């Protein structure tokens, strides 16, 4: 699992690459949490390069969603491939968190929802 972090205004973009599962979630969470500064109000999780996600990955996404929502922020998921998108839909996570085709769309959604 690789996590590439960039910031655009008050939004953090986390590009995840690899498998998001029980073995990789702790490291991904630590990378993301280390990058959260007080000015960050939104999070875009770019999962376009995530090849596999299990329930630990879902828990990771839900945890970030809750963290931001409790602080008045917003979260969106971008670029989910068919397998990952199916997991998001079957779990119901896609109903509570915006899932967009592109990072640009996700940034727009996060900006509107803050």
Pair 56, 20: CB distance under 8 Å: yes
CATH of the domain at 71: 3.30.750.24
Residue 72: per-residue pLDDT = 92
Biggest CA-to-CA distance, the chain: 34
Which residues constitute the domain of residue 45?
A: 2-113
Total domains in the chain come to 1
The position carrying tokens 């991904």 is 28
User: Residue range 95-104: average pLDDT?
Assistant: 96
Q: What is the rounded average pLDDT for all residues in the chain?
A: 94
Q: What is the DSSP letter of 23?
A: T
User: Sorting pLDDT into bands at 50, 70 and 90, what band is 111?
Assistant: confident
Enter the tokens of residue 53. 């996600």
User: Sorting pLDDT into bands at 50, 70 and 90, what band is 114?
Assistant: low
pLDDT in tens, 41-52: 999 999 999 999
**Secondary structure (3-state) at 69:** helix
Neighbouring-strand partners of residue 53: 20
């Amino acid at each position: 699992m690789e996590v590439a972090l960039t910031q655009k205004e008050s939004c953090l973009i986390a590009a995840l690459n690899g498998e998001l599962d029980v073995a990789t979630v702790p490291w991904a969470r630590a990378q993301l949490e280390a990058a959260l500064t007080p000015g960050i109000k939104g999070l875009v999780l770019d999962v376009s390069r995530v090849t596999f996600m299990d329930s630990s990955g879902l828990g990771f996404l839900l945890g970030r969603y809750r963290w931001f929502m409790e602080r008045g922020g917003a979260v969106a998921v971008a670029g989910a491939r068919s397998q990952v998108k199916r997991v998001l839909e079957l779990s119901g996570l896609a109903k509570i968190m915006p899932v967009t085709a592109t990072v640009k769309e996700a940034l727009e959604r996060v900006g509107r929802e803050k």
